[in-house]
């Protein structure tokens, strides 16, 4: 006997229970998929960050080949026995522009890097505040970690552009009195593969850095320090770090569990937050650390000439 059309239609439709089951299964699959997608995105961001650091590490070597010394962290000068420390002043990120394929930007900046007339707000020096449309407001993607969001002016440094990478000042200088150090890869006594060169700092909880310049708000605009802890985070509910916090100088990132670094030999490594650091040390300590700091791996990686062996997993 043939079934009626309405009977066949009723038999082919979903029941309410079946529909709810399908919806529940889809929800479970989405719940399983989202963390996987997030992990893939973070892995891609971490890899891009490591590539950025690799390019900067190679640029440091290229700069040394031409200039016979590593780029200074911040362009200062000693002229006729007098140290000039302009602030704002050009940083290492300006010096290596030709070696990350940004010669045209360096030409547009036309910075005074001679060490003769580098007083603050002089011609060819970055003014404070920045001038709209100036070349130093042209962002360079190599200086940004994708895990820290899109580029934006950094309010911690009077709206100069943000950067997520800061140097180890023990290697690049200048000294605390502004004296240039002019260290080379070859004169890193502990070995370039055992010495930090550049690391990360984010702006989600910390202050990041300032692209191209050393700002007078704090030297954290261009440099980073291991201090008592890698990747410090404010306590839950506490305010983010500011330019008045000791932690402003720390290395930090939005990567899960650690930060990326490039070492003096150009190798890039992801270092865990659990890095052995001296809890008694203070981030503002420079160039002298706490009396016990050199017993810890963090300080050994930071200091280029302490003569102590380094073991890094």
Please give the mean pLDDT across all residues of the chain.
Answer: 88
pLDDT band at 182 (very low <50, low <70, confident <90, very high): confident
Instruction: Enumerate residues 6+ apart whose C-beta is below 8 A from 232.
Output: 206, 241, 247, 250, 252
Distance CA 63, CA 75 (A): 14
- Does residue 122 carry a pLDDT above 80? no
Distance CA 185, CA 81 (A): 27
pLDDT in tens, 60-119: 999 999 999 999 999 988 777 778 888 889 999 999 999 999 999 999 999 988 655 555
Give me the residue spans of the domains in the chain.
60-302
Strand partners, 78: 83
Residue 235 Cα to chain centre, angstroms: 22
User: Which of these ranges, 5-9, 16-20, 95-99, 274-278, has the smallest mean pLDDT?
Assistant: 5-9
Residue 274 Cα to chain centre, angstroms: 18
Tokens matching residue 299: 């300080």
Tokens matching residue 189: 């006594």
In the 8-state DSSP scheme, what is residue 158? T
Region 215-241 average pLDDT: 96
Distance CA 155, CA 140 (A): 18
Contact 227, 281 (CB under 8 A): yes
Question: Which of 251, 248, 163 is CA-nearest to residue 211?
Answer: 163
Q: Determine phi and psi for 167, rounding to 5 degrees.
A: -95, 165
- Does residue 39 carry a pLDDT above 60? no
Residue 166 Cα to chain centre, angstroms: 5
């Amino acid at each position: 006997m043939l079934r009626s059309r309405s009977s066949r239609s009723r038999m082919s439709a979903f029941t309410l229970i079946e529909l709810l089951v399908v919806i529940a299964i889809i929800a479970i699959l989405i719940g399983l998929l989202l963390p996987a997608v997030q992990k893939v995105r973070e892995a891609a961001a971490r890899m891009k960050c490591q590539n950025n650091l690799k390019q900067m590490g190679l640029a440091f070597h290229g700069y040394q080949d031409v200039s016979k010394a590593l780029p200074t962290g911040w362009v200062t000068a000693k002229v006729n026995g007098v140290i000039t420390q302009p602030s704002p002043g050009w940083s290492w990120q300006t010096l290596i522009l030709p070696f990350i394929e940004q010669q045209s930007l360096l030409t547009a900046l036309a910075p005074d890097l001679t060490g003769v007339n580098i007083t603050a707000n002089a011609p060819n020096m970055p003014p404070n505040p920045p001038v709209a449309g100036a070349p130093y407001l042209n962002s360079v993607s190599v200086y940004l970690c994708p895990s820290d969001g899109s580029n934006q002016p950094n309010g911690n440094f009077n709206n100069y552009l943000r950067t997520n990478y800061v140097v180890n000042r023990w290697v690049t200088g200048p000294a605390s009195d502004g004296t240039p150090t002019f260290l080379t890869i070859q004169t890193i006594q502990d070995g370039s593969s055992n010495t930090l060169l550049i690391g990360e700092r984010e702006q989600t909880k910390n202050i990041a850095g300032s692209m191209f310049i050393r700002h007078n708000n704090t030297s954290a605009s261009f440099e980073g320090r291991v201090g008592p802890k890698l990747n410090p985070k404010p306590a839950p509910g506490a305010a983010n770090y500011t330019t008045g916090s000791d932690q402003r100088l720390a290395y930090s990132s939005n990567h899960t569990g650690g930060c990326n670094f490039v070492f003096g030999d150009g190798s890039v490594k992801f270092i865990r937050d659990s890095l052995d650091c001296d809890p008694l040390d203070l981030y503002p300590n420079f160039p002298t650390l706490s009396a016990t700091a050199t017993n810890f791996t963090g300080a050994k990686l930071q200091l280029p000439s302490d003569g102590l062996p380094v073991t890094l997993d």
